[in-house]
Amino acid sequence: MARTSQQPEILPDMDQALAELTAGKDVWAKTSVAGRLALLQQVKDQLIKVAEGWALTAARKKLIPEGSPLVGEEWMSGPYALMMGCNALIDTLSEMQGKRFLDKVKLRKLVTGQIAAQVLPANIWDKLLLSGVKAEVWMQAGVTRENLRNHTASVYDRPPPVKLALVLGAGNIASIAPLDCFHKLFNENQVVILKMNPVNDYLTDFLQMALKPLIDLDVLRIVKGGADVGGYLCQHPLVEEIHITGAEASHDRIVWGEDVATAKARSVPVNKRRITSELGAVCPTIVVPGPWNAADLQFQAEHIATQKLHNSGFNCIACQMLVLPADWDKTKTLMDNVAKVMARAPARQPYYPGANERMAEFARHSDNVVAFARGSAPACVVGSGGGTGYRKTRFLRQRFQCMKWPEPIPRPICGRRSAMPMMNYTGRSGPIS
């Protein structure tokens, strides 16, 4: 690929990394299940060595006071999550022969005739840490109980040609980028170049040490750089697939180029590679009215508050829009409880670039703005109104929009999709209480 004089000196290093990964495709294609299990165990051994430094460095960079219980967030969403990913892959690969891991998966038939597989909780730890939470994978039409094995982990039955994937890492949660690499490597049988997000590229040294067994095998490279490096890699002829975790605008520039609107209108993408993405959304939390008692109101207030306070509000699926029943007599008590929970919680400072400016913009364009006090930290701004823009624009940080839904919110909540207020929001995903 030709370079211009404006391109940084780091780009030859990118070319070398991609050349080494291209050579590593054949190695990865020949790496057996037993070999992959051994690599995962080696990653676990390496991860133990760097876990403390990783968590403490991330806490410091996110302005968490030394010794604060909030440091636990960085342990849980960083090295712990990656260790759990290793363990889950080891459990699955250990039972790949005959797809024995499916024997303990609960299946049910949906009203559509499709099969749903319960994947959470998968063990006692899930039940303890995520009490009451369940997750299912819904199979496509034509997948049945009888042929499910033929449609599960098929890359281990009929391995496709190994491709080279670019992963553009997340800047907020530390474990997302390495777990995205695991998905490409072990689920899709691809070698990976991971470009770290500039917001958290301080993790690069820790990840290079933790994932050294994969790097030594020439199936993984981890690089740093800004938008210029990302743009170079996205268009590099050796890169065959792309995965991005980030903002919709970044995704659209990769797919459609600088003139997004014109390219979309013409349906002419500038990047024709297969691109997968996990993009930020305006996630609603929908409050379903009912005979809630005082304990229920307190419990759910803690859910609403803490999903917004975790990671100082810089999470993709945290509540952005709180949908409340218009005429519910318990709304005021619930919101008062949310304010009290936030006031008692340890103070967090915003660490993500541009957060204060976006918060000020949100406050300027919202009606009935209320500030939930946060001690020495900036208040959580709660607003309403603001037109349709806030159904399409994601604002990370400690703020959310309230919306009163005038119609009865259906029970079960998914019973009438036409009545769902979330259908008008960008993303259409997130928690429901």
The per-residue pLDDT for range 7-61, each reduced to its tens digit, is 556 778 999 999 999 999 999 999 999 999 999 999 999 999 999 999 999 999 9
Residue 3 is predicted with a pLDDT of 45
Mean of pLDDT values over 122-133: 88
Sheet containing 321-325: give its strands across: 284-286, 321-325, 399-405, 377-384, 367-374
The model carries a pTM of 0.86
Instruction: Using the structure block, give the residue that is written with the tokens 């997000």.
Output: 197
Residues 6 or more apart whose CB falls under 8 angstroms from that of 179 comprise 81, 82, 85
How does residue 392 score in pLDDT terms, banded at 50, 70 and 90? very low
Strand-pair category, 164-168 with 135-138? unpaired
Tokens read off for 397: 């940080």
The per-residue pLDDT for range 69-111, each reduced to its tens digit, is 999 999 999 999 999 999 999 999 999 999 999 999 999 999 9
Mean pLDDT, rounded, of the chain: 86
b vs e for 115-135, b when ≥16 Cβ sit within 10 Å of the residue's Cβ?
bebeeebeeeebeeeeeeeee
Residue 272 is predicted with a pLDDT of 94
Q: Which is more confident, 405 or 352?
A: 352
How does residue 336 score in pLDDT terms, banded at 50, 70 and 90? very high
Residue 422 is predicted with a pLDDT of 46
Report the range of poorest mean pLDDT among 124-128, 146-150, 190-194. Answer: 124-128
Report the range of poorest mean pLDDT among 25-29, 181-185, 337-341. Answer: 337-341
User: Which range, 67-81, 247-261, 303-317, 341-355, has the best average confidence (pLDDT)?
Assistant: 67-81
Report the range of poorest mean pLDDT among 107-111, 140-144, 206-210, 401-405. Answer: 401-405
User: Which range, 223-227, 323-327, 379-383, has the best average confidence (pLDDT)?
Assistant: 223-227
- CA-to-CA distance for 1 and 237, rounded, in angstroms? 7
| pLDDT(365) > 70 | no
Q: How many CB atoms lie within 10 A of CB 367?
A: 11
Q: Which is more confident, 358 or 323?
A: 323
Tokens read off for 167: 């992963």
Domains recognised in the chain with CATH numbers: 11-96+153-279 (3.40.605.10), 284-424 (3.40.309.10)
- CA-to-CA distance for 368 and 54, rounded, in angstroms? 41
Residue 419 is predicted with a pLDDT of 47
Instruction: Decide: 159 and 189 in contact? Cβ < 8 Å.
Output: yes
Instruction: Decide: 117 and 152 in contact? Cβ < 8 Å.
Output: no
How does residue 431 score in pLDDT terms, banded at 50, 70 and 90? very low
Provide, rounded to the nearest whole percent, the portion of the chain with pLDDT above 90: 61
The per-residue pLDDT for range 223-255, each reduced to its tens digit, is 999 989 999 999 999 999 999 998 888 899 999
Residue 417 is predicted with a pLDDT of 41
Residue 235 is predicted with a pLDDT of 95
How does residue 385 score in pLDDT terms, banded at 50, 70 and 90? low
Q: Which is more confident, 194 or 383?
A: 194
| pLDDT(205) > 70 | yes
Residue 418 is predicted with a pLDDT of 38
Mean of pLDDT values over 337-351: 87
Residue 403 is predicted with a pLDDT of 66
Q: Which is more confident, 373 or 272?
A: 272
| pLDDT(200) > 80 | yes
- CA-to-CA distance for 151 and 144, rounded, in angstroms? 9
How does residue 408 score in pLDDT terms, banded at 50, 70 and 90? low
Provide, rounded to the nearest whole percent, the portion of the chain with pLDDT above 70: 83
Q: What is the DSSP string of 345-364?
A: SPP----STTHHHHHHHHHH
How does residue 137 score in pLDDT terms, banded at 50, 70 and 90? very high
Residue 404 is predicted with a pLDDT of 65
Residue 32 is predicted with a pLDDT of 97
